[in-house]
Chains A and B, each alone.
Chain A
Amino acid sequence: MHDAVRATVGLFHVSKSYAAGHFALRDVCLEFQRGEFALLSGPSGAGKTTLLKLIFAAERASEGQILVLGRNASRLGAAAIPSLRRRIGVVFQDFKLMPRRTVEENVALALEVVGTPRREVRARVFAILKQLGLQDRRFHHPLSLSGGEQQRVAIARALVNEPEILLADEPTGNLDEELSLEIMDLIAAAAKRGTTVIVATHDSAILERYGGRHVRLEHGRVVSEHSTPAGREGE
């Protein structure tokens, strides 16, 4: 079977411009396979966040086609977007947690929107929080947690649905080095379970420590791409 058909995510000559003549992404061609761990690097404004937004259909490509889990994300209607997003977990630099809801409620959100029975929601939320060492914090509110704990909650929310794709946009941007590695280990572990993981980062320490596929973007273009052997992840 052709790679483009097997790929979980495929971008074909994708460009995105927010203003005439100013391209956030230009003629990007990339494919990500099932279970692949990929790091997107590049300076601020290189187009890393835009690329992730195109994959989870928060933005629409100006040119080109984007295939995500067999669906053309660049042509999806508004009503079809939720069903695609339910198969994608997203982690943000600023965590994006609901401050008035408890940790448990924040994580449960991803299951509630798909109508998972309440009992199953509780069981699965407890399981993922336990896996991430947060079971004792489940009735706390996000603002009473440390930055690392908040990001772990965000990861729990992204993973609780067992998504086929996990996107992380600068997930360690607000954390110190030790916590960054802890968070990256959790994200990288998802790839070992078959999830396609794409992480946008400009943290050179992460790029050095983590193997897998490295894609470098500059001025909206892919300037280099290489794979390195598995590094620290999985240790």
Chain B
Amino acid sequence: MRQLWARLISLTRSALRGLSSSPVASGVAVVTIAISLVLVGAFALLASNMRSLLDDFGDALVVAAYLGENVPASEYPALADLARSVEGVESVQVISPEQALERFRVGVGRGAALLEGLSENPLPASLEITLLPEHQSAAGLGVVVESLEGLPGIDDLGSGQQWVEGYLRALALVRGLGIGLGAILGFAALLIVSNTIRLAMLSRRDELELLALVGASRSFVGAPLLLEGALCGAAGSALALALLFLLFQLVVPGFEFGLELLLGGLSPHFFAPSECLALMAAGVAVGVVGSLFALASERFA
């Protein structure tokens, strides 16, 4: 065990010595990885937040049955009882036009200022219908909606199904863009890391040849170079995470209204620790693979 630690320490020292011997090339590699991961990370962050909204929506899948304007308030409880009798319905809550307006005011946050100009409440009364857990799916929702459509006094039904489908398409687009951009930038970063390590190998050709002359195996010579790539990747991804966090802190307050429209009442969140680790791992992987490319293409002694 002690031997392994000694070898690890020696490897790390050797890798750090290698990186410091060509600081400009190493810096370029770190910054390239960081830029790639910032762009990919920004898309991932947006996708993660959008996904949270969907999860949140799924947790409380409800159907809004909007009542006609001519339905008097005294009939609301009877209509609610009728809706409760539909198979698949768990509970029904009556939302008056005033309650609906208040909810909307809270929901849009700062955008509520727009409501100041309204002379009368344009929102209808509605029944907020919660489904039983076994009906909380697209098919179950469809069955309940079909039954509710036949009830008297209901003007329109809003299940959010179309919205969810559209939102999923937008989410897929964001993810696709992130993956596509990630693939292109990741490959560019890979090539730059590979060239950085190749430059490092060329600048230390005498040293590498000497190691080979004294009987160092290819893995003994290659391990510090792989570690150099991994360290570049780790530094790049740490820098990317720091930049993303900074951007998150600076940019989010400025786009609060837009984000509220996109994410509803959810407050935007930064990456979870596991997601931060995944981003770090991606950076390290880019560094290691770049180093492997360099090692495969260079021969010594």
Contacts and interface: CB of A to CB of B under 8 A. Distances in A.
Contacts of B54: none
A112 B10 contact: yes
Contacts of A118: 3, 6
Interface in B194-229: 206-207, 210-218, 220
A113 B217 contact: yes
Interface stretch (A3-11, A78-86, A124-132, A177-185): A78-86
A98 B301 CA distance: 16
Contacts, number: 52
Contacts of A21: none
24 contacts: A58-B213, A58-B301, A79-B217, A79-B218, A82-B216, A82-B217, A82-B218, A82-B220, A86-B215, A88-B215, A96-B210, A96-B213, A98-B210, A100-B17, A109-B211, A109-B214, A110-B214, A112-B10, A113-B214, A113-B220, A114-B215, A115-B3, A117-B6, A118-B6
Interface string A51-85: 00000101000000000000000000011001111
Given A113-B211, A113-B216, 18 more contacts: A56-B213, A58-B301, A78-B218, A82-B212, A82-B215, A82-B220, A85-B213, A85-B215, A86-B215, A98-B206, A100-B17, A109-B210, A109-B211, A109-B214, A110-B214, A113-B217, A113-B220, A117-B6
Contacts of A90: 213-214
Contacts of B17: 100
A49 to B, nearest CB: 14
A88 B212 CA distance: 12
Interface residues of B, number: 19
B227 to A, nearest CB: 16
A159 to B, nearest CB: 12
A110 B213 CA distance: 9
A187 B6 CA distance: 32
A157 interface: yes
Nearest to A98: B207
A71 B19 CA distance: 38
A87 B210 CA distance: 15
Contacts of B214: 85-86, 90, 109-110, 113, 157
Contacts of B218: 78-79, 82
Contacts of B215: 82-88, 110, 113-114
A58 B220 CA distance: 18
Interface in A20-43: none
A88 B213 CA distance: 9
B217 to A, nearest CB: 5
Contacts of A110: 214-215
Contacts of A83: 215
